[in-house]
């Protein structure tokens, strides 16, 4: 795709067009992963960064668990005026942050592949030793070899189906992974 979709109305007012995102609230797959899997792993020191914080539901979960001083959200817009959100295009994010956890929920591989891949590469370069990146597996719309890329950056892949979960759907357990920096 030559033209990526960064339209505010599409991402914030037409969420029903994104698939089963449940308005990015409590039933959204990443928010279930945060509650059931992320909260049960030991994280090293460092920031908790959510790339693609949307209206802030998942970001609030992270803030409640880890504290607002440790959590950063990043998105094109900040419609809820969340104090932890930095607004901007991920393609312009260039400064380094020592991160214990990065959640790559920027756009998607179908509509914003450049942004999604850039976010993954930024994440791989900003995760501290023993830190984690929550991201897709190779099963993505851009055919991006994320598993191989992360291995070259010294990460081991842990499929989410290795963890106990009561509500994360099977497709989420198969298509997302936690990459841990060695």
| Position 1 confidence tier, pLDDT thresholds 50, 70, 90 | very low
Q: Where are the domains of the chain?
A: 8-181
Q: Is 130 exposed, middle or buried (0-12, 13-18, 19+ CB in 10 A)?
A: middle
Element (H, E) at 149: helix 146-152
- If you average pLDDT over residues 83-104, what whole number do you get? 97
Q: Which of residues 20 and 45 earns the better pLDDT score?
A: 45
Average pLDDT over residues 128-145: 94
More confident residue, 2 or 170: 170
Domain at 8-181, CATH class: alpha beta
Query: 176: which strand partners?
Result: 136
Dump pLDDT digits (tens) for 123-132.
999 999 999 9
Give the mean model confidence (pLDDT) for residues 148-159.
Answer: 98
pLDDT band at 2 (very low <50, low <70, confident <90, very high): low
């Amino acid at each position: 795709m030559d033209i990526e979709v960064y339209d505010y109305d599409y991402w914030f007012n037409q969420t029903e067009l994104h698939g089963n995102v449940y308005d990015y609230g409590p039933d959204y797959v990443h928010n279930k992963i945060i509650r059931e899997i992320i909260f049960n792993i030991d994280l090293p020191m460092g920031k908790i960064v959510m790339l693609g914080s949307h209206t802030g539901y998942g970001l609030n979960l992270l803030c409640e668990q880890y504290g607002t001083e440790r959590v950063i959200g990043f998105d094109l817009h900040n419609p809820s005026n969340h104090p932890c959100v930095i607004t901007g295009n991920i393609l312009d994010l260039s400064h380094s942050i020592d991160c214990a956890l990065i959640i790559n929920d920027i756009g998607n591989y179908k509509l914003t592949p450049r942004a999604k891949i850039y976010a993954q590469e930024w994440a791989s370069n900003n995760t501290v030793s023993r830190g984690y990146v929550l991201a897709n597996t190779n099963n993505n719309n851009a055919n991006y070899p994320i598993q191989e890329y992360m291995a070259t950056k010294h990460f081991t892949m842990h499929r989410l189906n290795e963890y106990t979960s009561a509500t994360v759907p099977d497709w989420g357990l198969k298509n997302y992974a936690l990459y841990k920096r060695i």
